[in-house]
Chain A
């Protein structure tokens, strides 16, 4: 079975600073990887996804993530954050065969302050 680990429950950062949110997964088979963002009192919205091909994936709002198969990681990065990036970020994984459910990490709350 797959599992997802987001070690950082909260990441405080100043506006315009770079940020990296960590995600590690475990799976015995190839997977698809996703990052979702949840703004306060809203549902989840897809930021980006890795299905195949280039290991560097670009998403919305200037975010990008890099798939590292050897380290089983899919860390999310942004070179310069804004106050509006304050939200909770979830990493998710699913097997790449058939209908398999998404497995979510526990989430990382990004707090951007001026």
Chain B
């Protein structure tokens, strides 16, 4: 049981390049989330999904797209990277139903630098 995994762990992009971050969970969770963490700002929600085939915008969605084609995977895309997207990205998941809304399980993070 690996929990929540993220690939890659590190990445350096040039401005204007694109990339996709992959999140996978093996807990059969309904809900998945993408956050970014910046110094002094805590975690901010980028996009989230309440089930396979669904996505929704979070607090800071601009410049990102997501897809949830399979229940266990949640992809975060950057179509044209900008230096302002330099951050640590965390994926999380939680189970559905009322009991499952209470705990999110986090992946180890992806450190992205855009030059």
Contact = CB atoms under 8 A, between A and B. Distances in A.
B42 A104 contact: yes
Interface string B72-115: 00000000000000000010100000000111101111000000
Given A43-B108, A44-B90, A104 B102 contact: no
A74 interface: no
B48 A101 contact: yes
A90 B43 CA distance: 9
B42 A94 contact: no
A46 interface: yes
Contacts of A41: 108-109
Contact of B90 (A9, A43, A46, A94): A43
Nearest to A46: B103
A99 B43 contact: no
Given A43-B90, A44-B104, A106-B40, 4 more contacts: A32-B102, A36-B106, A43-B106, A99-B31
Interface residues of A, number: 21
6 contacts: A44-B90, A44-B92, A46-B104, A49-B103, A101-B45, A101-B59
Interface of A: 9, 32, 34, 36, 41-46, 49, 51, 90, 94, 99, 101-102, 104-107
B50 interface: yes
A90 B103 CA distance: 14
A43 to B, nearest CB: 4
A49 B40 contact: no
B4 interface: yes
